[in-house]
Structure 1
Amino acid sequence: MTAMPGRSHRGLLPDLTTDQRVVSQTLARHVGVLARDIGDRNVWRLSRLALAARYIADSVTDLGYKPQRQRYETMGIPVENLEIEIPGTSKPGEIVVVGAHYDSVRGCPGANDNASGVAALLELARALKDFQPSRTLRFVAFVNEEPPFCFTREMGSDQYAARSRARGERVVAMLSLETIGYYSAGKGSQRYPMPFDLFYPSAGDFIAVVGNLRSRGLVRRSVGTFRQAVRFPCEGVAAPGYLPGIFWSDQWAFWRRGYRAAMVTDTAPFRYPYYHTEEDTAEKIDYDRLARVVTGLEAIVRDLASA
């Protein structure tokens, strides 16, 4: 399904608002700490992985949240997901999860993949700290999204989704913030797996919302809300979950537990030339565009949590 509500913005972007300029600077600071100061962070660089988790926990604690840890072992090594929650006021049993993985692929500083997603997660937590949602809202930083743990039970999001299912939790929507900071207006800068090249722009200047067919309602609602909230290009697709690129992040874990979930992404390897390399560094990120994306994401989260 490629038809989405509203129209994707085309043409010049409006100037940043005063708030967006502050957000741009905050996003750059978060990415700088994770990708430059900490860098390569995974079970092969365990002390750095722990530093990243501590930075995330300290950041949300400073906002007034009380982070909860979901600890488990992978290869005999203790690792953890981090979660904060805003309880729902009228529908607390319905849960909206917004997640981003904080590990990086081995040997990579992981600025776009995925310090950009974590930075957006932290900024959303800040923007929504006084929000009173109808539904319970959770922000989760996942460990072990990268190889060799992706699409296994050692993936942090799979541990989390499995626990949610075992508890009988009603997760009504999940958004995975995955590699969201690189944009190019150049013709031919965007690639696609077949047959999506027949339907979408050749310039990689947009943010995408991607889901499986069961999650098409979530994808359409998210794209429609984004397009109304901010003048920034946004595309959406709901397609069979086995297609290349459709399942490549933490939404996969929620799909296999029967939950509706979507990935928000700049499309990663289909656009970003530094994907999974040592050159995935902080200066590659377009923080002003990322700030605009965060504006749209905030609108999506508010809408989903207020339904």
Structure 2
Amino acid sequence: MSRGVLTCGRAAASALSMLLLAACTADGEPAEVAAGDPGATAPNSGSATARAEPVEPSPPDASPSHASPPVPEPSAPRVVPGDLRVGRAVRAVQHLAGQIGPRHGTSPAYQQAVRWVSRELRALGYDVRRQGFDAPAGVSWGVPVDAGRSANVIATLPGARSTDRHLVVGAHLDTVPQAPGAEDNASGIGVMLAVAAASAERRTRLPVTFVAFGAEEPRGPGDAHHHYGSRAYVASLGPAERRAVAGMVSLDRVGVGSVVPVGSADLDGRDPRQHAVIDAARRARVPVVATYNRSSDHWSFARAGMPGVRLGSTSYAAYHSAQDVASVVRPAQLERVGRLVLAWLR
């Protein structure tokens, strides 16, 4: 993800902050939330500065933010036995980061990752198709990348129709060129696969479409050079298909920390989709913090008028580096996020 810093005004906190929000620091960053993502700050009634579009910044400062503590996780059974299998998510992280490694969106390694994720989803009983699209040449986090074809991997249960009301769970499959991408974003793909397995075995409130997005990482400064896969996916939807999307969550950097950031593309803190995810977290007994965030694939949905929320974005020292290896990712955090998503789907 590209990184940015927003300045928090002195405006009063929203009603949501009474429950879960971290207070703004001098840099405008909430507790546990990555300083490294554009727009990754706690929502407030906000200054005009906070609405500026992000640009690709310099590499991150991994020092923690100071903020009010989030709601602690209550004592409760952590997961329904036989439901979410966090081991599946852990194995995905190990395979993508350890065996495939760096996989920018137009690289041969990315195509290898596409084939692997496609096989995993088919083995779970899903109908799987690949959606190809062009990604331009550019500079991704300081490293030149070539133009070429990338692809989204789209999975639905047999018989699903894109014009029926449904939910979307997505995670980007690519990395910046220099990083094996365990946290960014094999963690998101791993949780997506674990949730897909649980959803294939037990009914959800609406049908679910799972998407591994290609070429999410930036190839230049600003929003126009970011999120190519989700932009291609959204552009392919007709009016009836867009109306059918009842909700979307993007799983992006979900394996670090002990609190789950829930990011909305709306600055005012009154996003009902964000509130719905936070309600699901309460049911699942997962601690969360609400943030303002436009730096993942949910933004492609939100700016097209569809509901989109990001899960994840906790700061960590190995961000976009060769040190983003499997040992960075914590299985307990993968489990928290998986439980939250399943609660939202059900």
- Answer whether TM exceeds 0.5 for this pair: yes
1:152, 1:158 within 8 Å by CA — same for their partners in 2?
no
Counterpart residue type for residue 114 of structure 1: N
2:84, 2:339 within 8 Å by CA — same for their partners in 1?
no
Displacement after TM superposition at 1:234 (Å): 1.2
Q: 2:289 aligns with which of 223, 235, 251?
A: 235
2:88, 2:193 within 8 Å by CA — same for their partners in 1?
no
Alpha-carbon spacing, 1:222–1:77, altered in 2? closer, same or farther (3 Å): same
Structure 2 residues without counterparts, runs of 5 or longer: 1-13, 21-69, 137-146
1:7-26 superposed matches below 5 A? 9-10=71-72, 16=78, 19=81, 23-26=85-88
- Residue 172 of structure 1: aligned partner: 246
- Residue 150 of structure 2: aligned partner: 79
- Residue 279 of structure 2: aligned partner: 224
TM-score (norm 2): 0.70
- Higher normalized helix content (fraction of residues): 1
Give the Cα–Cα distance (whole angstroms) in 1 for the partners of residues 301 and 160 of structure 2: 24
Given the alignment of the two structures, is residue 274 of structure 1 paired with residue 318 of structure 2, yes or no? yes
1:95, 1:137 within 8 Å by CA — same for their partners in 2?
yes
Displacement after TM superposition at 1:22 (Å): 7.5
- Residue 102 of structure 2: aligned partner: 40
1:196-275 superposed matches below 5 A? 205-213=258-266, 216-230=271-285, 232-237=286-291, 239=292, 246-265=293-312, 267-268=313-314, 271-275=315-319
Structure 1 residues without counterparts, runs of 5 or longer: 184-204, 240-245, 303-307
Given the alignment of the two structures, is residue 118 of structure 1 paired with residue 189 of structure 2, yes or no? yes
Give the Cα–Cα distance (whole angstroms) in 1 for the partners of residues 264 and 201 of structure 2: 29
Identity within the alignment, %:
27
What do you get for the CA RMSD once the two structures are aligned? Answer: 2.9
Residue-pair matches, total: 269
Give the Cα–Cα distance (whole angstroms) in 2 for the partners of residues 129 and 206 of structure 1: 27
Given the alignment of the two structures, is residue 93 of structure 1 paired with residue 148 of structure 2, yes or no? no
SS in structure 2 opposite 1:146?
A: coil
1:93, 1:135 within 8 Å by CA — same for their partners in 2?
no
Give the Cα–Cα distance (whole angstroms) in 1 for the partners of residues 82 and 333 of structure 2: 10
Give the Cα–Cα distance (whole angstroms) in 2 for the partners of residues 18 and 300 of structure 1: 15
- Residue 161 of structure 1: aligned partner: 234
- Residue 16 of structure 2: aligned partner: 3
Q: Give CA deviations for 1:235-279 in whole Å, capped at 9, x if unaligned.
A: 224x5xxxxxx11111111122111211001x24xx211111111
2:127, 2:157 within 8 Å by CA — same for their partners in 1?
no
Displacement after TM superposition at 1:90 (Å): 11
- Residue 194 of structure 1: aligned partner: none
Give the Cα–Cα distance (whole angstroms) in 2 for the partners of residues 32 and 129 of structure 1: 23
Give the Cα–Cα distance (whole angstroms) in 1 for the partners of residues 343 and 294 of structure 2: 24
Give the Cα–Cα distance (whole angstroms) in 2 for the partners of residues 90 and 70 of structure 1: 16
Give the Cα–Cα distance (whole angstroms) in 2 for the partners of residues 92 and 253 of structure 1: 19
